[in-house]
Structure 1
Amino acid sequence: MDTHSPGTKEEGAWGGSDLPPSRQLRLLHLSEIDEADELEQVWLNDFRDVQAVLAEGGGNDEKVQAALQERASSDKGHARVVNGLLFGNICDRSRSPEFFRYLTLVVRDGYAYVCKQLQRIVNEKFTKMIDRGAVQASPQQIQLLELVRRLIGLDVGNGIDRVFLALLRQIQGGSVRETNRWLTRILLQISIENKAWLLEQLDIVHIVFYTFCRVAADHSDPKLEKMRRQEAALCSEIWRERPAECRKLGRDAVRVMQDVARVPEFDQLWKDLLEQPETVGIRDLGDLLCVRTPNAVLASRLTPEMEQQLLFIVQHVKMGQQQRYQKWFMSRWGLSTSEGETLIPDLVRYICCVYHPPNEVIRSDVVQRWAAVGWLLTTARSETIKANTKLALFYDWLFYERKSKDHPGDSVMVVEPAALLIIRSISKWTEITADLMEFLFAAADDWCPRYRQLCRRGIYNAASECLHLGVIPKTTSGRAGWHLVSAYGLAPDKLGAGLRARVRA
């Protein structure tokens, strides 16, 4: 971490410079047309107060400590002193060790407020801490990561795990930009250096596994081989040390591991899951496939900014007017590039499993989920990503369980987008319906042959649930809309004889 922050050439801010601190140190990189950021202004004002205390101390460390602790004796004063010291830690690299030492001396709540503020900065401001299009991480981002590293090294409680999780979420799937690789590399190093700490964070350790397992698939460039092997080794150790927590990942752990199963460190874990599941904490791989992946895990593969923009499209943009928003989204996140399109299955999983709109949105004229996943399907270019995207769409179909006395039942909302896309495509986009049906039935038999019956039963359960709950509407004749699919599938000019037989069955 040898990149210099803006503060390194302005040490006079603490002893002789005539320039006011506001012109020298900054937290965010805002353009001339951006409005001043309220949080940055608050922190800057609190930093000036800390500066005044240091100036009054005249180099007497004991006097400075006493003055800062006195100011931090009240809740309001504590917040202001901490804000100022955080600003100094992040924005003035040359004196960050000093600010960090003062921070450890004034904290009076076990770092709860520190972690709360850092989590807010990461979630809301991280992408604003660097110029758009920059090829390297900004000094502020570098110092923020260094601050988090120091706090983890102190094993502080009260939320540092949530800060680390928020940083992990800033890793963008499919991005090969140097800034993204840098963030991945630093968080990987922190994880390896603080492995004992990480393995004790039972609320996040499985998401750490999922994150590095997923992004390892993006690091196929030979130049990234070392990092990829480190990611694989860390993930393998996490699973073997914390199998109970990793089981919470459910079926999507299997889906993402398939893409990296040939990486040596993943290879043995994958073989054990298939051949010796008891050695890695599960009774059978089928049991893992029957566990639905938690929403928080799937959402973790979208950055907060990405999630916000995707939700805008499906919550506020009207059907028929979405094309320009979709083009902008594709450009912003690089979905049209060979590297960026690996993000598409993550987006489809989010739409199917995480975003479940209320009835008033479903009945409105905004972009519906089935249309959004249809757009993403057509965005994929390579055959591998097309297959992975369709698997992401139908994944929950393969293991769907209806409610019974022994099972709480899966939500029909996870299979609704695919069901409606099949139905709505019949009249105008018949090739989409044909392609989806072909893939669905092929996946049941070929994706994992040893669980063929499990997958077939899941598809039957999902289709039955869609009919029972009216997800597939009835026609004016009173017949369920699904008969259109059957009729289409049986048409000789649409599908082959083998698939027609599957549909008939």
Structure 2
Amino acid sequence: MCYVTFFLPGMNSKLHRVAPFEAESQLEASLREVFEGLLPKLRPPFSLVIPSPTEYLELNQAILYGILTEPHFAKVHFTHLCAIVTDGYEFFVSLIVKIVFELYTKLLDSVKVQLIWISRKMVDVSAEGVQNLLISLMRQIAGGDYSDWNLWLAAELLRIFLEKWEWLLEEPLVLTSALFTYLRLLADHYRLLGVSKFETLKRMEIDFCICVLRNHFDLCLRIGRDLIRLLQDLSHIPEFQAVCKDLLSNPAEFRALGFSDISQVYARRTSSQYHLLRITPEMETQLRFLLTHVRWRNHRRYQTWFFRKFLSRPECETNIPDIVRFICCAHHPPNEVIQSDVIPRWAIIGWLLKCCSTNHVVSSVKLALFYDWLFYHEKFDNVMNIEPGILLMVNSITKYIDMTRSLLEFLFISVDDYDVVRRDFLGRGVSSAFHVLVRKGVVQSLEVLTSCSSLSPSLRQRLSCMFLASTSESSPVTMEVSPPPCSPLPLKLPCPSNGESKELPVLELRVPESSRENGFDRALNNSISVVDNSFVSCSMPILSCNSFLDAMSELVETLGEAAKNSKEMGLEILEKMLFLFVNTKFSLGVEMAVESPLRPEALAHQIMEAFKENGANMFDPLVFHPLSCTDKIQSAAALVICTFIFSRHQMMQDMIIFWSRNGYQIGPWFLVYASTIAYEADTICSRNLMDEQSSNKLNYTKMPFLKHHIYKYISFMRSQTKNYSVTCESDSVVEFKLLLKLKEDAFISYIMFLQSSDASKPLSKLLFSDLLSCRDWVVGGSKPLFCAIFRYLSDLSTGKEEFIHLLVDHLDHANLVALQFDVCLKRFSLFGPDIETIVQLVKCSLNWDSVEQQKLWGLMISELSVSSIQLEKLMPHLFDLSVSDSNVHSIIVEGLFNLCCRCAPSPELVGMILSLPDGNTGGFAASVLASWVVSNGSMLFGSLVECLEKINTEGYLVLQNSTGVKINNSTTLWLLTFLNKVGSNYHISKVPADVQHLKDKLAQAMVYSGKQLIS
């Protein structure tokens, strides 16, 4: 009986199943406690009081618990959540993700149904973080599990993706993650023929994957080379057989810009985030524990436990290739683990190979182990991905020579047969892998393999030839410029300045010696990679005049063919051209002939034509905001602009002007680029503002444009100075001073472009023209543009009617509110300190529609409330505009009223209010004074006394710096009436002690005013 009582709380769990002798989840306990405490507040009618931050978090927890455990009240709870949400559902979604991560496998069936229901609702409202939620749910679809609830989860998530197709297309990471997941699941599901419960799901999976592959292959490319590996497992399905055939022989069928050959997919390393998709969170936790904490002497016990937990059923074998890819590509142990006696990665992979009982799974596991070998390129790939393969072969020689033999045979067979047409390409990848493994010290040499008598002579000879080939290719005496990984042949760039070929020296990205430990280059984890939206460092030498002309001519000839082969290859050649162009010291002094093909205009024309021949424009309009359009980071436009920003080279400027005058929209592109750099830089600065320790070292890795810009800056500086180094190379942070310099340089360069593009027009007109074009490009995301213009180009935009009219016309309410916050924080000014400018702007706004006027006054109130402008001098001018017809100009009256209510009642401002005429504005002055009575009564009465003391015998109020104004009888009479009623109808806390004295002064003022009227 005591045991029953002890476990009763767990047995009453409403979220998840609790096994005997198992403690209840702390997460559920905390959610239930909050729910029970707030239960009265979770039933209609709901309170209209805005909850405090703590209450808000508790309400989110209680509502989520209610939705999951009370299905009949779910809609009511969701309505309540929508009414109180203030953070875009970010905290609410984070709670769901935590439940999915910690409890999903134990959740009750009814709770799982509610979990999918609320997830669908979060997609409907575009909640913050819903992408992570969907990816977390996809990870819970276990491979090799054909239970009803696992299949149900796969089907429900797929239905969400199909129902929310338009939303899904705007979330490339979710789309590609879903494609990766369902391609992998389909390989398992399709094997089970004749099972009715699979048929509908298989059809949905096939239709979804084919639709994405056929219509959005440009997004699919983000997955990288593992996309081909997954498609290979589905090549027996007719629909996918056609896809594979087109990939090999008809790539134009996919209509993906810049995609012309499957080798471009091979060259893209797959991000580790995709390998995590097919490992459940529970499996990931256990694997990381096994590879981080388990010692050699204890490994068998833990391996047995892991096998029983995740691999004991025959159908679970298909998970092993996914586990191997995870170990190779997503789990890279630190040096202290590598140097300890923790069981290494290669040993776990060898054990997993022994666990396979079917030949096709064994082949899949070997391919997963060696897949990166086939396409390895030192600049783009990580040596840690190929380390387990070589160590497994070397360490298996003594006891498991059959393992070594079978692995080597499989590797060489893959080189010959995986893609026969591109056999040389695969051979270079494997050769490069062997060379890097030896050079990095992963193994001392390959002699342990080449001299092993237990291996066949043919294997040893093939291995020796392959290694020698890689050694000769990587010799320091070479005439080759390193090609991108998708290049089928290396590019020869001879420099025959003295009749013989010489190497063009290339500056490489050096890794600090402190990061080289145990032969492993840890900095490679942070290497600059094309698939990670950044360029490889490309540096250029300083050459003699003849060498410069020869090298540039060769690059010009190569550009067209390179751009045809692949986008990345064309960009690399263009980068070499531009860096060579601006870094050759003598180039500014070279007097080229008018007909020279290397004059800036001629060179710009050749570059332009090379891209046109391949169906690409250098400066395509940005259809969406660049922050969500990462392919624009890697573009000719971005490359040209950042090179000009770094160099501000006259000949580069001539090239840009040439392109601009030939129809390319350089100015808008330049403005978007500079504004995005400033926006991302300001964002990370504001995040670090309160952190004293990080205020001078700012992490930029989550800012894609800024990350690209910094990497390009490092690459450019290295091309000028071999020993150049900055802290952001290794630790992903940047000095505040450097960040400030990069921002300033971007806008200085943009102004230089404007000045040289059209000298006949004012700069502000040119800027406005560029802004108009940008407005059409970046629909829904223009706030960074306007913020950058008013902050960094204030002399061209502040107080200008056309800029402000465009701002209020284009930005929605949410962006305008955010803009008001920036204005209140004095990050920039929209209107400036000049009163005449503001008055003129308000006059111009009378021709705007009412919505635009209201937006204008919202911004103006925010700025004037914190500005140094004397409101008492500005208001009479604005009030005069509204007096003529308050019905027509009621928005001005409303704006002035809100502005006065927000400001403190200083003597000067109170005196101005007392002097305002009645006109058609009703009780404007009295209403302002009444508002001040409640909000700032003490200061109001003090200011009134000071004002009334300065009324002369003619009824004029004379204050500091004032020639005297006539007070308004109606306003004075209202004040006198109010003071007579103090203590009865008015409840205020601060009333002047000598009320009678104030009444006498008001009466005297009215008498003076009356005398003046009589006279």
TM bracket (short chain): 0.7 to 0.9
- Is 1:321 the counterpart of 2:284 in the alignment? no
1:331 is displaced (CA, Å) by 1.4
Q: Quick one: which amino acid aligns to residue 469 of structure 1?
A: K
Amino acid at match of 1:286: S
Which of 162, 187, 192 is the equivalent residue of 1:217? 187
Is the Cα–Cα contact under 8 Å of residues 336 and 379 in structure 1 kept in the other structure? Answer: no
The one-letter code matched in structure 1 to 2:81 is L
- Residue in structure 1 matched with residue 153 of structure 2 by the alignment: 183
Query: Are 1:250 and 2:224 counterparts?
Result: yes
Aligned to 1:417: 388
What is aligned with 1:3?
none
Query: How has the CA–CA distance of structure 1 residues 434 and 45 changed in structure 2, closer, same or farther, with 3 Å as cutoff?
Result: same
Q: Is the 8 A contact 2:396 2:403 kept in 1?
A: yes
Q: Is the 8 A contact 1:423 1:484 kept in 2?
A: yes
Superposed, 1:107-122 pairs within 5 Å as 107-122=85-100
Match of 1:52 among 8, 21, 40: 40
| Matched residue SS, 1:142 | helix
CA distance in 2, matches of 1:21, 1:325: 32
| SS across alignment from 1:269 | helix
Residue 413 of structure 2 corresponds to residue 442 of structure 1: yes
CA distance in 1: counterparts of 2:9 and 2:329, whole angstroms: 47
1:238 pairs with one of 209, 212, 215: 212
Deviation (angstroms), 1:23: 8.2
Corresponding residue of 1:28? 16
Q: How far off is 1:240 after superposition?
A: 3.2
> What 5-or-longer segments of structure 1 have no aligned partner?
1-19, 56-60, 131-137, 403-407, 474-479
Counterpart of 1:503 in structure 2: which amino acid? L
Higher radius of gyration, 1 or 2: 2
Distance change >3 Å, CA 347–CA 54, structure 1 → 2? closer
* Residues 104 and 453 (structure 1), Cα distance of their counterparts in 2 relative to 1, 3 Å cut: same
Give me the whole-angstrom Cα distance separating, in 1, the residues matched to 2:314 and 2:147. Answer: 13
Greater RCO (Cα-Cα under 8 Å, separation 6 or more)? 1
Find the counterpart in structure 2 of residue 358 from structure 1.
334
For structure 2, the 5+ residue unaligned runs are: 1-7, 466-1015
Structure 2 contact 10–24 (Cα < 8 Å) conserved: no
Tell me the distance in 1 between the aligned counterparts of 2:373 and 2:404. Answer: 16
CA distance in 2, matches of 1:129, 1:199: 31
User: Percent identity, aligned pairs only?
Assistant: 34
Q: Is the Cα contact below 8 Å between 2:449 and 2:460 reproduced in 1?
A: no
Aligned length: 451
Residues 248-257 or 20-29, more deviating: 20-29
Map 1:464-503 to 2 at 5 A.
464-473=435-444, 480=445, 482-488=446-452, 491=453, 494-495=455-456, 498-503=458-463
Given that residues 370 and 418 in structure 1 are in contact (C-alpha distance below 8 angstroms), is that contact kept between their aligned partners in structure 2?
Answer: yes
Contact 2:9 2:24 in 1 (8 A): no
Decide whether the 8 Å contact of 1:342 with 1:385 is kept in 2: yes
Q: Deviations over 1:180-219 (max 9, x none)?
A: 1121111112111222221111232111110000111110
**Structure 2 counterparts to residues 123-142 of structure 1, below 5 A:** 123-130=101-108, 138-142=109-113
| RMSD value, Cα | 2.0
Provide Cα deviations, 1:347-394, integer angstroms capped at 9, x if missing partner: 000111111111110010011011011111111110000000000001
Q: Secondary structure at the match of 2:152?
A: helix
Q: Is the 8 A contact 1:229 1:263 kept in 2?
A: no
**1:97–1:421 CA distance, 2 compared to 1 (3 A):** same
| CA distance in 2: counterparts of 1:54 and 1:503, whole angstroms | 71
**Contact 1:233–1:266 under 8 Å retained in 2:** no
1:192 counterpart = 2:162: yes
Letter in 2 for 1:41: A
2:56 is aligned with 1:96: no
SS at match of 1:378: helix
Asked if 1:460 corresponds to 2:431, the answer is yes
- Is 1:267 paired with 2:241? yes
Which of 43, 60, 80 pairs up with 2:31? Answer: 43
Q: How far, CA to CA, are the matches of 2:105 and 2:200 in structure 1? A: 27
8 A Cα contact 2:32 2:65, kept in partner:
yes
Q: Tell me which of 109, 120, 123 is aligned to 1:149.
A: 120
SS of corresponding position for 1:214: helix
C-alpha displacement of 1:320? 3.2
Distance across 2 between alignment mates of 1:128 and 1:80: 24
Quick one: which of 297, 305, 309 aligns to 2:286? 309
CA offset digits 1:257-282 (Å, max 9, x no partner)? 11112323323322222222122222
Query: Is the CA contact 1:314–1:369 (under 8 Å) kept in the aligned structure 2?
Result: yes
Tell me the distance in 2 between the aligned counterparts of 1:23 and 1:33: 10
Q: Letter of the aligned partner of 1:303 in structure 2?
A: T
Q: Per the alignment, in what secondary structure is the counterpart of residue 377 of structure 2?
A: coil
Partner residue in 1 for 2:318: 342
**Could you tell me whether the CA contact under 8 Å between 1:353 and 1:413 is conserved in 2?**
yes
The structure-2 alpha-carbon separation of the partners of 1:21 and 1:425, relative to structure 1 and needing over 3 Å to count, comes to: closer
Cα distance between partner residues in 2 of 1:227 and 1:484: 50
